[in-house]
Amino acid sequence: MRSVGVEEELLLVDERTGAPLAVSGAVLAAADRLAWRRPGGAGANPHEFEEELQKEQVEFATKPVTEMGELQDEITRIRGEAARHAADAGAVVAAVATSPLAVRPSLNAGKRYEWLGERFGLTAQEQLTCGMHVHVSVESDEEGVAVLDRIRPWLAVLTAMSANSPFWQGEDSGYGSYRSRVWNRWPSAGPVDVFGSADRYHEQVRGMIGTGVLRDEGMVYYDARLSASYPTVEVRVADVCLHATTPVLLAALIRGLVETAARAWRDGEPPARMATSLLRLASWRAGRSGLDGPLLHPGTMRETPAAEVVDALHRHVRDALVDHGDDERVREGIAHLHAQGNGARVQRQLLRGGGDLARVVTRCAVLTTS
């Protein structure tokens, strides 16, 4: 069975005011102190917590697992650890994909981040966004690129399901996932064309880096890409999700997409030649609507109620979900998501329920680890 790992970025905020706090260094120092006390010392979990572009956020990665129940335990455990490390730094963690409150982010120190700030200006300086990335193992780069070519039409649906960033700089953006719009300011971000082979994929990546616009392979911000560090396909379209159960739902669906695509490739089925321009429209529609408006159906590229599109994704990967033992979990997760809504809907409901954006953030911090 294919292994799955999840990376999440969390916002660091003041427990009382909800304002983002530039304390990632202190949070990582607390994590390092705990790692030294564990069996095996500082090398026990060297990549569990890492710094990100801005000092107001921290990233963690789960270990690769094959069982979704184990992934749920990992995410719940590490979110709890992140909260404890943040408390040592006078902060709390909130799984929101943009800060509802106005903020002027602080770039982390280091040559890489300084280069990004100088080269990309406001795109880098304002890029306080928190995403969720899912890694699924593949047998080879050739299989991985075949998967990338075949999952393209479905990725925007994952953005809609995860949408958790309705507010930007103290205002309602009108979007479910405004993070996805801010993220797509990067010149290498977004959907890409069908590659056809691993050689063509790597040739394009080398050509992009060769322009000098990108610093290295880590800046190839495709919606889905081959990982530069692991034998995985990395799907990068999701907002960080408010409730800890939602990333597991998305991870199960993404593994289902990868397995379904790999089987189609082995059976000689060609990828759909959906124009990248249409996929960009689908991405915009998903960011705008979340689950509270129409999405572009991957089969027709016509506006369709969001619930129907999510159900179409479920049907598309159902055979793989059944084989993985994930179908019941996914059914229940989708039903819960339709009933409760994604993070964007929850945030707006919290604001309508009384109080202000500070209350939205502080309540979301509680929900992050509950």
Residues 356-366: tens digit of each pLDDT: 999 999 999 99
Q: What is the mean pLDDT of the chain?
A: 95
* CATH number for domain 4-368, candidates 3.30.365.10, 3.30.590.20, 3.40.50.150, 3.40.50.450: 3.30.590.20
Q: Which is nearest to 58 in space by CA: 17, 30, 100, 36?
A: 30
- The stretch 176-204 carries a mean pLDDT of 98
| 157 pLDDT more than 60 | yes
| 40 pLDDT more than 80 | no
pLDDT at 85 (0 to 100)? 95
Residues 195-249: tens digit of each pLDDT: 999 999 999 999 999 999 999 999 999 999 999 989 999 999 999 999 999 999 9
Among the residues of 212-301, which ranges form H helices?
A: 246-266, 276-289
Residue 185 burial (CB count, 10 A): 13
| 43 pLDDT more than 50 | no
Give the C-alpha separation, 44 to 209, whole Å. Answer: 34
Give the C-alpha separation, 327 to 130, whole Å. Answer: 28
Domain-by-domain residue ranges, the chain?
Answer: 4-368
Residue 132 contacts residue 9 (beta carbons within 8 Å): yes
- Threshold 0.75, pTM exceeds: yes
Cα Rg for the chain, rounded, in angstroms?
19
Residue 170 contacts residue 356 (beta carbons within 8 Å): no
